[in-house]
């Protein structure tokens, strides 16, 4: 089976109601209307939040992928990493990472440097401009995350994290049929 990565995230806007889903349940007896509605709402929240984050980052001439690379570099003690390690941590192909790095290089937010021990090794290092870009973006980002999450009490936040962890542990069900019961 081919390994597909969705390049364009479709928005989940028109969530069907129980009456519409009953039509599907009549045709497909495996349909659990409550589960489908819960799943579609989870997708909609995720896609809407992702779109909102994209909109915010666009104000700073960033996309989520490029922003994430800068965050990954900032996590490193020396603000450096290899392209392959960045690709693995970001969950993208090396080719995709190359495209992200090319854009960041063009904007002088990162630089390529040769390894000290092995000059064949290329390291990606965040530049002063890259750090300045994050310093510009992150305060507003954290303000927005805090505002978003204030909708939940501390107990609800803990419960949500626990529930999301359970769902995350079952994410493989879409990968192949061997996981179906």
pLDDT per residue as tens digits for the range 42-68: 988 998 999 999 999 999 999 999 999
43 alpha-carbon distance from chain centroid:
13
Indicate if the pLDDT at residue 103 is higher than 90.
Answer: yes
Find all residues with CB under 8 Å of 173, minimum gap 6, and list them: 179, 180
pLDDT computed for residue 1 by the predictor: 34
- Banded model confidence at residue 71, pLDDT cuts 50, 70, 90: very high
Predicted structure pTM score: 0.82
Tokens linked to 144? 């927005």
pLDDT per residue as tens digits for the range 124-166: 999 999 999 999 999 999 999 999 999 999 999 999 999 999 9
pLDDT per residue as tens digits for the range 75-92: 999 999 999 999 999 999
Look at residues 81, 77, 88 and name the one whose alpha carbon lies nearest to residue 104. 81
Domain boundaries, the chain: 51-169
Q: Which fold has domain 51-169?
A: Arc Repressor Mutant, subunit A (1.10.10)
CA distance 92 to 86: 9
């Amino acid at each position: 089976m081919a390994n597909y990565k969705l390049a364009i995230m479709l928005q989940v806007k028109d969530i069907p109601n129980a009456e519409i889903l009953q039509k599907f349940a009549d045709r497909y007896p495996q349909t659990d209307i409550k589960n489908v509605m819960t799943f579609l709402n989870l997708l909609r929240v995720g896609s809407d939040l992702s779109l909102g984050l994209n909109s915010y980052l666009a104000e700073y001439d960033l996309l989520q992928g490029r922003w994430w690379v800068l965050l990954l570099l900032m996590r490193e003690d020396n603000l450096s990493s290899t392209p392959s390690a960045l690709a693995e941590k970001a969950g993208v192909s090396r080719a995709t990472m190359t495209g992200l790095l090319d854009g960041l290089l063009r904007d002088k937010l990162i630089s390529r440097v040769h390894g000290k021990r092995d000059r064949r090794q290329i390291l990606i290092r965040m530049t002063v401009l890259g750090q300045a870009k994050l310093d510009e973006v992150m305060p507003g980002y954290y303000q927005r995350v805090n505002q978003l999450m204030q909708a939940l009490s501390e107990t609800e936040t803990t419960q949500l994290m626990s529930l999301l962890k359970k769902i995350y542990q079952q994410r493989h069900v879409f990968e192949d049929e061997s996981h179906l019961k």
